[in-house]
Each structure stands twice: as C-alpha cells, then as structure tokens.
C-alpha cells in the first residue's frame, strides 16, 4: 500500500498535469482563434466573401470543440481518482498561478470554468472548482497600453491622413488615394465646423488592428480636439478598381450600432483583448462591456462578463422579476428584471395550437441565428444553462407560470429557483406597443424601418416567417429588430406564390384557402392583412416597401441567393463618388 508521502507526490503530479493540460488546451484554442481571425485580411484583399462566411462559422464553433476535447482529456486523467472535485479544486489554485503572466488571464479562467461546469454539471456557481465572478473580471484595462498610432495635426488634415493611410497597407492598390484623402478630410472638416468656429482637430488615434466584417474593413479610433473628443471609424471597401473609403463615421450612435448586439462578430487580431475592449468602451461609454467582448468575437467572455455584471446587480438590487412587456408568446416564456435592460427567454414545455414544432426546432433556430449573418436585424442571444436565483426575487404569478409552463426547465431547490436552460437578450420595446404609444413621426419612421428590417433579413437569406408586429422590437436608436425565431427560415427554403384567382363566388366566401397550400408556400400579397398597422403606419410602409408584397420580388431574390449573389447589407449609409458632385466628393446612395 503506498505511503502518505507517495500518495501526496502522486496527487501533486496529477494536479500539475491537469494544470498544464488545461493551460495548453486554452492556448491551442486561442492560437487557432487567431489563425482564423488573421485570414480576414486575405479574404478582404481577395474579395473571397464565401470563404469569409465559412471562417466566421468555424471560429464560432471552435470554442465548444476545444472545451469538449479538454473535458475528454481531464476525464481520462481523473478516471481513477476517488475525489475528482477536490483534485480540480487544487488544480484551480495551481492554474491561477500558472496563467498569471499571460495576456488576458481572465480568458484562461473562463475556459477553466467551461471545462469544470461540463464535468460536474454545475448549478449556479461552485466556488470549490471554478473561478467566481470577481476572479474572472478583466484585469488589464489599465495595465497595458493599447497598440495604436497617434497622428498629430500639423496644420493640414490631408497630410495627417496621407501618413495614416500609408501605415495601413493592403495587398491591393487604392482606387484613388488622393481623392480618398480629400474626401475624408472634407468629412471631418464639416463635422468640426458643426461643433463651432473654435473647434480644431489636435490629433487622430487609430488602433493598429484593422477590423474586418463581411465585405468591409474598418479603421477604428478617435479624434481629439482642443476641448472635445469624437469616435472615428473609417469604412473601407475593396472594389474592382481598388480600395477606397466607403464612409467616415463620427457619430457615437452610429459607431455604437456598428458595434451593436444585432451585428455579426468582427475579425480583429488584437494582441490584448482587454485593452481593445477598454478603448472601444472609452469611445462608446454607454456600450456594455459584455457586448464589446462579444462583438469582438469573444462570445464566451462576453457571456461571462454579462453573468458577472448580472450577479453583481442581483446583490445590489431588490426589485423582482416580472413578465416582460408584450403579448404572451406560445413558444417562449419571457421575463425581465425592471432595473436591467435584459430579458430571459425560456422554451415552454408545450406549444399551443397552431404551432406544430417541437423544442429541438426552437434550439435549431437559435443555432441558425448564432451562425448566420444577422445583418443588424437579429438580436444576439446568449445561451445559459443551470442558473439559479432566490425564489423570493420572482413575482408570485411569474413563479407559478414558470413552474407550470416551463416545468422541464425550472425547478425549486429549497429557496432557489434553478433554471436549467435560458436565453438572455437585450430588452427592446415591442413594436406593436411602440406604435401605439409613439408620436406620429416616430410611428412613420418605425413602420418604414420595419419594412427595411424585413428587406435586410431577406438580403441575408432570412425570412422571418411570422411578420406580426409583436415579434419585432425597437432599440433605443429607433431601429427595428426581429427577435422571435421559432418560425424563422431561409429565403431559399420558401416557395413564394401569387394568390390564385377565385373561380366563383363560393370560393370567395370560403373562410380558408380553396386551393392547395404546401408547408413551404408563402403568399406575400397577404402580408399586410395580418400586421395590424394603423392607417398612418400602413401608408408609410406601403410607400417605401410596397414591393415586399409582390411575389416577383421574392422569387427574383431567391434566384439570386441560390446562385450565390447575396445583396449587401451595410451597417451604415454608404457613399459613392459622383462625377456630378465633382472631384473628391461623394453623394449618398
């Protein structure tokens, strides 16, 4: 029988092996993440957008694959261990020391938690084997300097931007670098003039890392004036004639939407993510840190940061969870805490008629959205498992509803409500309620943007399915976003048809369709009948988006998508050169 000292040495050796295994597993993940991210530059230069979409999906799936591989390795190492939980507890302390010198150590800790939660199927937080929220908090906001380039204004902005564009080289020529510089200078001069006659540009700071997403590259930074600061994003497009600036974005609101929770993730190869997050936060102070991590492609860290901030908020608040505003859904139970701008969505045990889907269908729809180009119109949902809250933080009617309609997901354990599976999303104003309460000009703008949301989704090969206003929300920027995914599908999966003409008066009087309707048949001419628009909203919608009611629009679009010709959905108002406007000027499309 081995001696106590011998057993201690074996344990220490195994703890060390677990520490290095988990460290190396995260390093492997991070290395592969960086390799995929760095491909974006080549995709942009070669305009290989289809390969870029494949890269985006591969990078999204990478984390779970690496966690699964690490779980298998840990299981193999601990298969003969009598108390693996105690062993992982010791490994956690060893692991914390091991990773302390690496950039972004909080990422290592989040990865460690992901592995242990899979192994022990943790409910809530198990401080014995995982890092608690305070320990995972980003640690390097002020410790390290951002990799950036600062350009001083020495009297003429055109010289400043000539220097800057020289620093950002691509394997493709500029279309007309002199005209690009003149236009960028004119845009910033116009913005500066709007601030007053004394406003001057002192310097421009740009992150060294170029941000890539879809068909665009972005230079991200800020302008510092004599007594003012503004965000600055320069959008670059690669055309047949070369690269040119497609937009100069200076509004905090516009930049915030570019980094928003309805956008696909950037591919940006930053050396220290936490310092990049801190920089973006400095130019977008209203943007939650969790969303910045997520839009940089670090979705797991964004999820961790959201949980950390939620946990902190729960400790320092007393209000109770209530039903979210809006019509009660047949598929999801939705609730919120009034003091935070989030909603929790839980899949019901059973779906009321006429829903003919099952739970797995809903999970598949969310997975589709997670992998798809959200085109600025699909809300990003974070999937959580095994959350727990004090039962007395729920209103009685909500708690009763959760325990009855979501009994497969929600259980009481003592004084805790355990939620086995949920989605967290940003809380929006339901469009149907917004249209009832808004001012006339806001109603008109929302109706127009509702049509644009349907169009943008369609261009990205998404058909919302259920176009009822209650399934859309309005952001604080006034943008209309789709958030009910149970009937969402691809445009290329739909069969768009024109309504057949009635054969006689009997057909006209039938309550249902007198003709055959297949499971994938869509009749665009009927859309507006079911929306419940008030007159002014209907008029605005038809004025700007009447073609969405024409089956030919959808049939033509489907054919384009089937041949790989995806129309662009740009997250800003693009501009183009105009011979009429003269050299160096752009006009809005």
Say if CB 418 and CB 387 are below 8 A apart.
yes
Tell me, what's the pLDDT at 518? 76
Computed over every residue of the chain, the mean pLDDT equals 89
Residue range 314-327, pLDDT digits in tens:
999 999 999 999 99
The SS3 of residue 426 is: strand
* Band of residue 549 on the pLDDT scale cut at 50, 70, 90: very high
Residue 219 has φ and ψ, to the nearest 5°, of: -95, 125
The pLDDT-based confidence of 347 (bands split at 50, 70, 90) is very high
Phi first, then psi, for residue 234 (nearest 5°) are -110, 115
Inter-CA distances, 574 with 345, 408, 554, 569, Å: 35, 48, 24, 10
Between 142 and 582, the higher pLDDT residue: 142
pTM above 0.75, yes or no: yes
Packing angle of the helix pair 551-562, 440-459 (nearest 10 deg): 40
User: Which tens digits make up the pLDDT trace of 116-144?
Assistant: 988 887 665 665 667 865 566 665 444 55
Nearest to 422 by CA among 332, 292, 315: 332
Q: How far, in Å, CA of 552 to CA of 299, rounded?
A: 39
- Please tell me the distance from the alpha carbon of residue 339 to that of residue 356, in angstroms, as a whole number: 36
Q: No. of H helices and E strands in the chain?
A: 18, 21
Between 41-45, 358-362, 500-504, the lowest mean confidence (pLDDT) is in: 500-504
**Phi-psi map region of 469: left, alpha, beta (phi>0 left; psi -120 to 50 alpha):** alpha
Confidence of residue 566 (pLDDT cuts 50, 70, 90): confident
Q: How far from the centroid of its chain's Cα atoms is residue 313's Cα?
A: 22
- pLDDT tens-digit readout, 62-109: 999 999 999 999 999 988 887 888 888 888 899 999 999 899 999 999
pLDDT reading at 189 higher than 80: yes
Q: Which among 14, 60, 70, 71 is positioned nearest to 33, based on CA atoms? A: 60
Check if 380 is active-site.
yes
pLDDT at 589: 29
Tokens of 67: 């966690």
Residue pair 184/241 in contact (Cβ under 8 Å)? The answer is: no
If one counts every other C-beta atom within 10 angstroms of the C-beta of residue 589, the result is 8
Question: How confident is the model over 169-177, as a mean pLDDT?
Answer: 92
Residues 300-313, mean pLDDT to the nearest whole number: 92
Contact between 361 and 288 (Cβ < 8 Å): no
- Asked, as a colleague might, if the bond just before 354 is cis with ω within 30 of 0, I would say yes
pLDDT in tens, 242-301: 999 999 999 999 999 999 999 999 999 998 999 999 999 999 999 999 999 999 999 999
The yes-or-no verdict on residue 10 having pLDDT over 60 is no
Name the burial class of residue 149, with classes exposed (0-12), middle (13-18) and buried (19+) by CB atoms within 10 angstroms of its CB. middle
Coil, strand or helix at 13? helix
How would residue 582 be classed by pLDDT, with cut points 50, 70 and 90?
Answer: very low
Q: 232 and 221 in contact (C-beta within 8 Å)?
A: yes
Task: Match 């409500």 to its residue by tokens.
Answer: 417
pLDDT at residue 587 greater than cutoff 90:
no
Confidence band of 552 (pLDDT split at 50, 70, 90): very high
CB 343 within 8 A of CB 329: no
Catalytic pick among 55, 246, 269, 380: 380
CA distance 474 to 432: 10
pLDDT at 472: 96
Q: Is residue 542 scored above 60 in pLDDT?
A: yes
Percent of the chain with pLDDT over 90: 74
Cα angle vertex 116, ends 113, 122, to 5°?
A: 95
CB of 187 within 8 A of CB of 248?
Answer: yes
Average pLDDT over residues 6-19: 76
- For 462-518, give the DSSP string: EE-S---GGGEEE-TTS-EEE---TT-EEGGG-EE-PPPPPSSHHHHH-SS-SS---
pLDDT of amino acid 500: 83
How far, in Å, CA of 132 to CA of 116, rounded? 12
Q: Is the pLDDT of residue 212 over 50?
A: yes
What percent of the chain has pLDDT above 70? 89
DSSP state of 567: P
């Amino acid at each position: 029988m081995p001696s106590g000292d011998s057993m201690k040495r074996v344990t220490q050796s195994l703890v060390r092996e677990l520490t290095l295994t988990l460290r190396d597993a995260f390093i492997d993940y991070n290395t592969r993440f960086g390799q995929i991210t760095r491909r974006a530059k080549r995709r942009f230069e070669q305009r290989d957008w289809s390969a870029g979409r494949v890269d985006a999906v591969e990078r999204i799936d990478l984390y779970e694959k690496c966690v699964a591989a690490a779980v298998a390795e840990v299981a193999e190492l601990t298969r003969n261990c009598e108390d693996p939980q105690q062993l992982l507890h010791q490994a956690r302390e060893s692991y914390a020391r091991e990773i302390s010198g690496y950039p972004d150590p909080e990422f290592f800790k989040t990865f460690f938690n992901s592995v242990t939660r899979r192994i022990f199927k943790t409910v809530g937080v198990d401080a014995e084997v995982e890092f608690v929220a305070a320990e995972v908090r980003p640690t390097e906001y002020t410790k390290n300097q951002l990799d950036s380039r600062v350009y001083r204004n020495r009297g003429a902005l055109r010289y400043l931007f000539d220097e800057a564009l020289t620093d950002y080289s691509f394997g493709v020529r500029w279309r007309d670098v002199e005209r690009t510089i003149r236009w960028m200078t004119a845009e910033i001069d116009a913005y500066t003039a709007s601030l007053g006659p004394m406003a001057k540009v002192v310097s421009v700071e740009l992150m060294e890392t170029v941000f890539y997403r879809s068909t665009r590259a972005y230079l991200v930074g800020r302008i510092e004036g004599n007594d003012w600061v503004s965000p600055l994003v320069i959008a670059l497009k690669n055309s047949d004639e070369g690269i040119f600036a497609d937009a100069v974005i200076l509004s905090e609101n516009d930049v915030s939407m570019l980094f928003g929770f309805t956008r696909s993730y950037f591919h940006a190869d930053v050396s220290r993510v936490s310092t990049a997050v801190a920089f973006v936060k400095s130019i977008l102070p209203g943007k939650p840190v969790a969303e910045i991590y997520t839009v940089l492609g670090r979705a797991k860290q964004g999820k961790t940061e959201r949980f950390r901030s939620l946990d902190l908020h729960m400790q320092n608040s007393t209000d109770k969870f209530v039903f979210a505003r809006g019509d009660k859904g047949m598929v999801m139970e939705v609730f919120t805490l009034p003091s935070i701008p989030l909603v929790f969505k839980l899949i019901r045990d059973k779906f009321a008629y006429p829903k003919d889907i099952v739970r797995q269908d809903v999970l598949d729809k969310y997975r589709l959205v997670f992998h798809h180009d959200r085109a600025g119109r699909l809300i990003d949902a974070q999937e959580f498992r095994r959350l727990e809250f004090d039962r007395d933080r729920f209103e009685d009617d909500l708690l009763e509803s959760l325990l009855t309609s979501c009994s497969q997901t929600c259980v009481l354990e003592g004084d805790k409500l355990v939620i086995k599976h949920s989605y967290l999303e940003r809380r929006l104003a339901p469009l149907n309620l917004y249209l009832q309460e808004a001012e006339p000009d806001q109603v008109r703008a929302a109706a127009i943007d509702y049509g644009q949301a349907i169009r943008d989704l369609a261009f990205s090969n998404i058909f919302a399915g259920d176009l009822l206003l209650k399934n859309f929300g309005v952001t604080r920027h006034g943008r209309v976003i789709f958030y009910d995914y149970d009937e969402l599908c691809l445009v290329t999966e739909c069969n768009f048809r024109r309504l057949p003409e009635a054969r006689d008066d009997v057909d006209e009087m039938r309550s249902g369709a007198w003709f055959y309707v297949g499971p994938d048949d869509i009749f665009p001419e009927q859309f507006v009948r079911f929306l419940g628009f008030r007159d002014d909203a209907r008029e605005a919608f038809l004025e700007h988006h009447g073609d969405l009611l024409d089956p030919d629009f959808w049939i033509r679009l489907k054919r384009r998508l089937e041949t790989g010709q995806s129309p662009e959905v740009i997250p800003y108002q693009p501009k183009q050169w105009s011979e009429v406007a003269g050299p160096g000027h752009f006009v809005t499309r």
